[in-house]
């Protein structure tokens, strides 16, 4: 449990900072458009999901020693979705730059 928390929370914090910055860059390129609104809500949703998962998982592991076995698969699925979200944001940034002529 200690290892999961020692790795999980730093990944959560660093990942959320990176996600926020990347989302902000994409939003700045296309703000005011539908894509900008979708990017903004995607980033906000991921942030709420990430911290909700972190808080609930931490509490669950402290309440039950068997909680680790439930938290690990959920964390793996979340991490896969997080990576996919980052890839989508990176692709959106490339496309937005191509459309707007930004660097």
Per-residue pLDDT of the chain (103 residues; tens, 9 = 90+): 788 788 888 988 998 899 899 888 888 888 888 888 888 898 899 899 889 988 998 898 889 888 888 888 988 888 898 889 889 888 888 888 887 776 6
Tally of domains within the chain: 1
Give CA–CA dist 103/100, Å, rounded. Answer: 9
Residue with tokens 């994409």: 26
Domain that holds residue 72: 2-98
Residue 103 domain-assigned (yes or no) = no
Q: Residue 97 corresponds to which tokens in the numbers above?
A: 């730059």
Tell me if 33 is assigned to some domain: yes
Q: Which residues contact 57 (CB under 8 A, 6 or more apart)?
A: 8, 67, 71, 74, 75
Q: Does residue 32 sit within a domain?
A: yes
pTM > 0.75: yes or no = no
Give the pLDDT of residue 82. 85
Distance in angstroms (rounded) separating the CA atoms of residues 76 and 40: 24
């Amino acid at each position: 449990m200690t290892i999961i928390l020692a790795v999980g929370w730093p990944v959560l914090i660093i990942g959320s900072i990176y996600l926020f910055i990347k989302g902000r860059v994409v939003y700045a390129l296309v703000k005011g458009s539908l894509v900008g609104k979708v990017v903004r809500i995607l980033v906000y949703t991921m942030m709420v999901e990430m911290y909700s998962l972190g808080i609930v998982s931490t509490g669950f592991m402290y309440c039950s020693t068997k909680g680790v076995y439930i938290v690990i698969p959920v964390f793996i699925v979340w991490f896969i979705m997080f990576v996919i979200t980052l890839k989508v944001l990176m692709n959106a940034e490339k496309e937005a730059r191509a459309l707007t002529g930004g660097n």
